[in-house]
Amino acid sequence: MQLICPKCGSRFVLEQAVSELEQAETHDIAAKLGVHWHLVYEYSDCFRQSEFGNVPLPRRLRIFKGIARLMETSEFSYRGKRYRTSQHEMIKAMTEICNMQKQGLRNQSYLFAILSKAGERLSAEGMTAREEEEREQGRRGADGQRKDAIGLEKAIETHPELKKVFDKFGKD
């Protein structure tokens, strides 16, 4: 399908324009990935369906976007659980996949399976178990009691309606 540019009046093919935009986006992602670009490109070759096959540019672009997002956030979901990993572990996992000369991958679950072994599980709040423990230790004082905990007498003084409830049911 040929279109006409509204500015210059030249004719172009829609597929060619889309391909050029995809290539420009690929170049942006390559610049973002920096020195790891060659490894990510080699990893995307693992998605070929045959030894001499080709990965279409739109699919390769989706792979690049997924890896770039993973590199930025270092968090991913695998089998309904969230994990956090390091950039070093990601590079190591992609190198391992490339060294095995895998081909015919359909999605990035294989990479996530490798990363989940080395990654730290995240809670619903997005924190690791160690971070949650540190947060809880920060909330507790030296005696092990919560800093915001108050005694029964102080609670009754602060909230007189509690005295009526305790009198009715007993303090035990």
160 in any annotated domain: no
Residue 30's pLDDT band, with cuts at 50, 70 and 90, is: confident
How many domains are contained in the chain? 1
Q: What does the pLDDT read at residue 101?
A: 82
34 in any annotated domain: yes
Distances (CA, A) of 66 to 92, 108, 165, 166: 17, 9, 57, 58
Are the C-beta atoms of 2 and 12 separated by less than 8 Å? yes
143 in any annotated domain: no
- What contacts 153, CB < 8 A, 6 or more positions away? none
Query: Order of strands, edge to edge, in the sheet holding 81-84?
Result: 75-78, 81-84, 120-121
Residue 170 has pLDDT above 80, yes or no: no
pTM, rounded to two decimals:
0.62
139 in any annotated domain: no
73 in any annotated domain: yes
Q: What does the pLDDT read at residue 118?
A: 75
Domain of residue 18: give its range. 2-127
18 in any annotated domain: yes
| Per-residue model confidence as pLDDT tens digits over 44-60 | 888 888 878 888 888 88
140 in any annotated domain: no
123 in any annotated domain: yes
